[in-house]
């Protein structure tokens, strides 16, 4: 299995001397579905933002390598970060669709990194791009809403649109920051099922931060728990105990159905990492693509 993400010794501070992420070390292999859990303020979003290049890590010895390219080192964002943008899709809690554009137009935005600059600027997408977008919408069960304004869609529908945008982008990694936090339980289930299915069927690596740990246990083989900016657990969902959750969330520990050890372990690919709590851790839709120039279409 190829390593698609490696973070070594990464620290992030917004204020000097007050790091919100401390000495983060982690490796993610291609095709993993990883849940990031932890109390509010533990650093989940900051970690996701650092991986996607929206935040710069502190200077020091640490570094971040995504899909084999070093994106940050010694507190600097490197050129590779920009080139990787279209290979890493980000899904946010608030969907981030442009309300006045149709769903299809929003999803086509995912093609911008892969289309010629002038075409992108004027919104001239090829038939091939449109096909990608429509297939992605179909994949998340939203094709029938393609022409509808994003602002007229429900939260769950918009989030499925945001996932379709990442698929249209041909993202090899999807980073989802609390993608279900603003959704009702049924929509939340649907969105998590879709992410898990994309991970299973297309092999897209998914890293998802979640407050709803039931979903983390149900869908994710691997759990990474953050506490006060440090990784305190990295391992199989089957190895998380109620006591661990209490230590993570304190008195507010969510009551949840713990995963069945055996079932989870059977579903788990063997992983080569410590599966225990520690205060200091050791260190596409694959559609056929035609390269033939396509007739340009204005949406
Ligand atoms: N832009 C920023 N400027 C200053 N401090 C920030 C910034 N972004 C995050 N922080 C601080 O960093 C810490 C971690 O925040 P982060 O948003 O990563 O936590 P989180 O685990 O995602 O929390 P939540 O579950 O509430 O989303 C918090 O103390 C937060 O106040
Ligand atoms: Mg957050």
Compute the chain's Rg from CA coordinates. 19
Establish whether residue 236 lines the binding site of ligand 1, counting it when its CB lies within 6 angstroms of any ligand atom. no
Closest Cα to atom 18, ligand 1: which residue? Answer: 43
Average pLDDT over residues 23-28: 97
Cβ-Cβ contacts under 8 Å for 16 (sequence gap 6 or more) = none
Which among 23, 12, 25, 89 is positioned nearest to 52, based on CA atoms?
89
Cβ-Cβ contacts under 8 Å for 184 (sequence gap 6 or more) = 155, 156
Average pLDDT over residues 196-205: 96
The closest-lying atom of ligand 1 relative to the alpha carbon of residue 209 is 22
Q: Model confidence over 286-295: pLDDT tens digits?
A: 333 333 333 3
Q: How far apart (Å, rounded) are the C-alpha atoms in residues 78 and 213? A: 34
Closest Cα to atom 17, ligand 1: which residue? Answer: 45
Which residues partner with 24 through β-bridges?
A: 10
Position 140 pLDDT exceeds 90? yes
Q: Model confidence over 45-81: pLDDT tens digits?
A: 999 999 999 999 999 889 999 999 999 998 999 988 8
Cβ-Cβ contacts under 8 Å for 144 (sequence gap 6 or more) = none
DSSP type of residue 149: B
Establish whether residue 279 lines the binding site of ligand 1, counting it when its CB lies within 6 angstroms of any ligand atom. no
Say if residue 122 is exposed, middle or buried (CB neighbours under 10 Å; 0-12, 13-18, 19+).
Answer: exposed
Establish whether residue 242 lines the binding site of ligand 1, counting it when its CB lies within 6 angstroms of any ligand atom. no
CATH (one of 1.20.1290.10, 1.10.510.10, 3.40.50.300, 3.30.70.1150) for 3-286: 3.40.50.300
Q: What is the pLDDT of residue 264?
A: 45
Establish whether residue 93 lines the binding site of ligand 1, counting it when its CB lies within 6 angstroms of any ligand atom. no
Packing angle between helix 155-168 and helix 127-139, nearest 10 degrees?
130
Pocket test for ligand 1, best of 45, 178, 224 (most atoms within 8 A of CB): 45
The domain locations on the chain are 3-286
Number of Cα atoms under 13 Å in the Cβ half of residue 38: 24
Q: Distance from the CA of 286 to the center of ligand 1, in angstroms?
A: 35
Q: Distance from the CA of 52 to the center of ligand 2, in angstroms?
A: 14
Establish whether residue 122 lines the binding site of ligand 1, counting it when its CB lies within 6 angstroms of any ligand atom. no
Q: Distance from the CA of 249 to the center of ligand 2, in angstroms?
A: 15
Which has the higher per-residue pLDDT, 4 or 272? 4
Q: How much is the mean pLDDT over the chain?
A: 85
What percent of the residues of the chain are helix, what percent strand, and what percent coil, each to the nearest 5? 40, 25, 35
What confidence category does residue 137 fall into, taking pLDDT thresholds of 50, 70 and 90? very high
> Three-state SS for 240?
coil
Q: Distance from the CA of 33 to the center of ligand 2, in angstroms?
A: 18
> Three-state SS for 200?
helix
Tell me the residues surrounding ligand 2 (ion) with CB < 5 Å.
44-45
DSSP type of residue 224: E
DSSP type of residue 132: H
Q: How far apart (Å, rounded) are the C-alpha atoms in residues 166 and 42? A: 26
Position 222 pLDDT exceeds 70? yes
Contact 224, 231 (CB under 8 A): yes
Closest Cα to atom 3, ligand 1: which residue? Answer: 14
Average pLDDT over residues 158-176: 96
């Amino acid at each position: 299995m190829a390593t698609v993400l490696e973070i070594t010794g990464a620290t992030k501070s917004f204020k000097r001397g007050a790091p919100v992420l401390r000495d983060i070390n982690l490796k993610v292999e291609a095709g993993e579905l990883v849940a990031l859990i932890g109390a509010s303020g533990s650093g989940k979003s900051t970690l996701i933002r650092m991986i996607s290049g929206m935040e710069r890590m502190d200077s020091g010895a640490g570094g971040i390598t995504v899909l084999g390219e070093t994106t940050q080192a010694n507190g600097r964002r490197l050129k590779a970060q920009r080139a990787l943008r279209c290979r890493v899709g980000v899904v946010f809690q608030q969907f981030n669709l442009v309300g006045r554009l149709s769903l299809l137009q929003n999803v086509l935005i995912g093609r911008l990194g892969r289309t010629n600059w002038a075409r992108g600027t004027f919104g001239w997408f090829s038939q091939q791009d449109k096909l990608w977008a429509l297939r992605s919408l179909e994949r998340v069960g939203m094709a029938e809403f393609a022409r509808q304004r994003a602002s007229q869609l429900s939260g769950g529908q918009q989030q499925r649109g945001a996932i379709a945008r990442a698929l249209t982008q041909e993202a090899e990694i999807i980073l989802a920051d609390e993608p279900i936090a603003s959704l009702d339980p049924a929509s939340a289930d649907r969105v998590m099922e879709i992410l898990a299915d994309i991970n299973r069927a297309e092999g897209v690596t998914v890293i998802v931060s979640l407050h709803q740990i039931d979903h983390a246990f149900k869908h994710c083989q691997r759990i990474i728990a953050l506490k006060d900016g440090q990784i305190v657990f990295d391992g199989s969902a089957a190895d998380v105990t109620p006591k661990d959750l209490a230590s993570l969330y304190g008195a507010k520990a969510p009551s949840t159905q713990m995963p069945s050890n055996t079932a989870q372990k059977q579903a788990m690919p063997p992983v080569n990492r410590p599966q225990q709590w520690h205060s200091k851790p050791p260190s596409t839709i694959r559609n056929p693509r035609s390269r033939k120039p396509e007739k340009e279409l204005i949406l």
